[in-house]
Amino acid sequence: MLDQLLAPDLANLLEEGKSDDILDFLRDLHPTAIAEILTGLDPAETLEVMRILGEARAADVFRELPIAYQIDASDLLDTTDLARLVESLDPDDRVDLLKAIPREKFEALLRILAKKERDDIKRLAQFEEGTAGSVMTSEYIALNQDLTVKDSIERIRLEGAEAHSIFMIFAIDEARKLKGAIHLADLILANPEKKLSEIMDARPQSVNALNDREQAAYLFSRYDLVALPVVDADDVLIGLITHDDIIDVLELEQTEDMERFMAITGSHENIPYLHTTIWSHFRNRVGWLVILALLGLVSGAVMQSFEQTLANLMILAFYMPMLTSTGGNTGSQSAAVIVRSLALKEIQTKDGFRVLWKELRVALLLGIVLGALAFARVLLTASASHMQVSGAITALDIGLAIGIALAIQVVASTIIGAALPLGAALLGADPALIASPALTTIVDITGLLIYFTTARMILRI
């Protein structure tokens, strides 16, 4: 990676105060590449390089810094310098940063920003994290639907200084209601005298600002969109989500799914890991842990009810961790596969029985392999000292009992792992809600029941 190779060089030049060499060094680099290098430096060094680059270039580089580094740099800047950088950010990125800095600094900054920016920030900041409104930008081109193609192109020439985001333009009526979408390529290929209303797609996809951003991501993915207009309840155009914003949304949603699946509530997504408070990390994790610890006591109760069996044949205890963890592993595997297949719409709830039937056959194969393994292991290593319960029980018996119990446990936990997310989906809930740790704890309980029941039946103890 560029940053790891070049950051030390840059740090050296900084230390030696060689500003000209630094300028030389960075002259031909894309602002994004410079930003990449800066992530290898500490915040003070980053600001020093930005100072050397000069205001305009520094602003370009700052835009491209990951938000964690923007926050770090913000800590060291006074309000005036920060305001200048903040003004140069895209409206949506600006709001993300402002939400993450301390409240007082945010207020101080708002006071010195121009009214136009201030209003824009307040408008965008009102949408809760997770909504479509929270990821939209206020920079887009909306033209009256009665404008001609020629006049529209003229307007784009005037408004479209930031050409990088113009791929679609939107047609509105007097009340700013969204009426249509026009692909830029279609606009330039159209007869210049036609009205926008004649060439526009009159039923464009759009999303309500209060909807979940996941809905926006779904529309992008389903309709291969490059831009999605955001409207309010009256269908008035109030913002735009662009293709690059949706990539960020997908990454955030991925984090949410992964964390949810690992029994973490809430999220640290709005604020990067190192900026999230310990208290908030704690709060996100403790809930499930307490519930699952209580559930884990049920496993203990199961063991307790088989106390005599255990006391008679201590060897059973030594294979218990292998049995419960294998159950947890197979269950987590099938749950992960099903959760993803549901998310990608490869399967739907109506396929439930086909899925369970498939998982059953996979589980039988796995159960045979793992059961045989456990059987062989017991035979090979069972020490004679543990076999003398009633004289009638041999290592073969014990191996058989443990192997069969493990095979049943593998089948049962695979099916439970597949059935729970399917059940959640059937109830309209997020399948990822069936957190893997919860599953592991549940199959611990069923596993111990299976284990001791099988052992009792086969060994008659």
Q: Which of residues 318-337 bind its own copies (CB under 8 A)?
A: 318-326, 328-330, 332-333, 335-337
Task: Indicate whether 304 belongs to the interface with its own copies (CB under 8 A).
Answer: yes
Angle subtended by helix axes 2-15 and 31-38, to nearest 10: 80
Q: Which of 43, 272, 352, 423 binds its own copies (CB under 8 A)?
A: 272
* Triad 211, 216, 266: Cα angle to 5°: 65
CA distance linking residue 354 with residue 360, whole number of Å: 10
Task: Indicate whether 287 belongs to the interface with its own copies (CB under 8 A).
Answer: no
CA distances in angstroms from 360 to 323, 374, 419, listed in the order given: 19, 20, 11
| End-to-end C-alpha distance for the chain, whole angstroms | 63
The residue among 116 and 164 lying less far from its own copies, judged by its C-beta, is 164
User: Could you tell me the smallest distance in angstroms from the CB atom of residue 177 to its own copies?
Assistant: 20
User: Could you tell me the smallest distance in angstroms from the CB atom of residue 302 to its own copies?
Assistant: 8
CA distance linking residue 333 with residue 310, whole number of Å: 30
The residue among 113 and 432 lying less far from its own copies, judged by its C-beta, is 432
Instruction: Identify residues 61-80 at the interface with its own copies (CB under 8 A).
Output: 66, 68
CA distance linking residue 52 with residue 19, whole number of Å: 6
CA distance linking residue 89 with residue 150, whole number of Å: 31
Instruction: Identify residues 412-451 at the interface with its own copies (CB under 8 A).
Output: 436-437, 440-441, 444, 448
Contacts 24+ apart (CB under 8 A), 207-212: 207/132, 207/231, 207/241, 208/132, 208/232, 208/233, 209/127, 209/131, 209/132, 209/133, 209/136, 209/238, 209/239, 210/127, 210/131, 210/132, 210/133, 211/131, 211/132, 212/130, 212/131, 212/132
Q: Site size for its own copies, by CB under 8 A?
A: 120
User: Could you tell me the smallest distance in angstroms from the CB atom of residue 112 to its own copies?
Assistant: 28
Task: Indicate whether 99 belongs to the interface with its own copies (CB under 8 A).
Answer: no
Q: Which of 255, 270, 312, 453 binds its own copies (CB under 8 A)?
A: 255
Task: Indicate whether 259 belongs to the interface with its own copies (CB under 8 A).
Answer: yes
The residue among 262 and 396 lying less far from its own copies, judged by its C-beta, is 262
**Structure token digits, residue 101:** 């800095």
Task: Indicate whether 270 belongs to the interface with its own copies (CB under 8 A).
Answer: no
8 A C-beta contact, residue 199 and residue 187 = yes
Task: Indicate whether 353 belongs to the interface with its own copies (CB under 8 A).
Answer: no
User: Could you tell me the smallest distance in angstroms from the CB atom of residue 63 to its own copies?
Assistant: 10
Residue 410: name the closest of 322, 348, 342 by CA: 322
Instruction: Identify residues 165-204 at the interface with its own copies (CB under 8 A).
Output: 166-167, 183-186, 188-189, 203
Task: Indicate whether 457 belongs to the interface with its own copies (CB under 8 A).
Answer: no
User: Could you tell me the smallest distance in angstroms from the CB atom of residue 262 to its own copies?
Assistant: 4
Task: Indicate whether 290 belongs to the interface with its own copies (CB under 8 A).
Answer: yes
What track of x and - describes contact with its own copies for positions 198 through 237 (by CB under 8 A)? -----x----------------xxxxxxx-----------
The residue among 5 and 293 lying less far from its own copies, judged by its C-beta, is 293
User: Could you tell me the smallest distance in angstroms from the CB atom of residue 160 to its own copies?
Assistant: 6
Beginning with the edge strand found earlier in the chain, give each strand of the sheet holding 142-144 in spatial order: 142-144, 168-172, 178-183
Tally the residues of the chain.
461
Q: Name the H helices within 427-435.
A: none
Q: Which of 114, 251, 396, 457 binds its own copies (CB under 8 A)?
A: 251
